[in-house]
Amino acid sequence: MQTGLPDNELIPLVLKGDQQAYKVLVDRYQSYIFTLAFRLMQSREDAEEVAQDVFVKAYRSLADFKGGSKFSTWLYTIAHNTGITYLRKKKQKMVAIDDESTFTQLENQESDFKANQVEDKSRKDMVNRAIEMLSPDDAQIITLFYRGDQSLDEIAAIMGLETNTVKVRLFRARQKLKEKMEKFFSEEVSNLQTV
């Protein structure tokens, strides 16, 4: 199985019963789905359960995917809805996540960092920690836009909102992120700027 095939070429293969093609799709999106689920849940175990449910639901519903949007948008919509449903069932309050190791665990790290890789990692860690301090909705919009490369229209479809609402929320989320960075990481930010 060629893992470089685009989503729209893998989907017909999956529909014909090619399990390996679906594995490629899962491998391609599992970290994003887990990240989105983790942003909504308060525990790794719950996020893993939701992520697994997302891929089961997506597999069962793949024949319903008509290609009117990107596959990733369709999949992220399933992830968002599954996470919200899970939270409602558990009647959990959606709060910001304080686990500093969230993205550190998700990112693929090399053991032999060069100086610029260490600097990049410091920036990413700092930004990720600041994102984790945001509300789940703000964190999700930031994650979808920057890590998931979703457009405002796609985020609106995923979250069931109007595009203008997403635009406003993204603007506000960026402002909140900037405030968190300035408040909690002002020294690190100034050190990185002088390097």
Local confidence band at 96 (pLDDT 50, 70, 90 cut-offs): very low
Structure token digits, residue 147? 């890590």
Helix/strand/coil (H/E/C) assignment for every residue in 51-64: HHHHHHHHHHHHHH
Quick: pLDDT tens for 75-93.
Answer: 998 998 898 888 887 753 4
How far apart (Å, rounded) are the C-alpha atoms in residues 34 and 28? 12
The pLDDT assigned to 184 comes to: 73
Query: Which domains, from first to last, does the chain contain?
Result: 7-194 (1.10.1740.10)
The pLDDT assigned to 179 comes to: 85
Mean pLDDT of 61-75: 88
The pLDDT assigned to 181 comes to: 80
The pLDDT assigned to 147 comes to: 79
DSSP state of 92: P
Position with higher pLDDT, 128 vs 34: 34
CA angle 82, 84, 86 (to 5 degrees): 65
The pLDDT assigned to 165 comes to: 92
* DSSP reduced 3-state for 107: coil
Position with higher pLDDT, 185 vs 171: 171
Local confidence band at 122 (pLDDT 50, 70, 90 cut-offs): low
Mean pLDDT of 134-159: 85
Local confidence band at 109 (pLDDT 50, 70, 90 cut-offs): very low
Mean pLDDT of 91-106: 41
Give the contacts of 37 (CB within 8 A, at least 6 positions apart): 46, 47, 48, 50, 51, 54, 79, 82, 83
The pLDDT assigned to 111 comes to: 39
Position 115 pLDDT exceeds 50: no
> In terms of pTM, does the model score above 0.95?
no
Q: Look at the alpha carbons of 44, 110, 20, 15 in this order and tell me if their dihedral is positive or negative.
A: positive
Position 152 pLDDT exceeds 80: yes
Mean pLDDT of 64-71: 86
Position 127 pLDDT exceeds 80: no
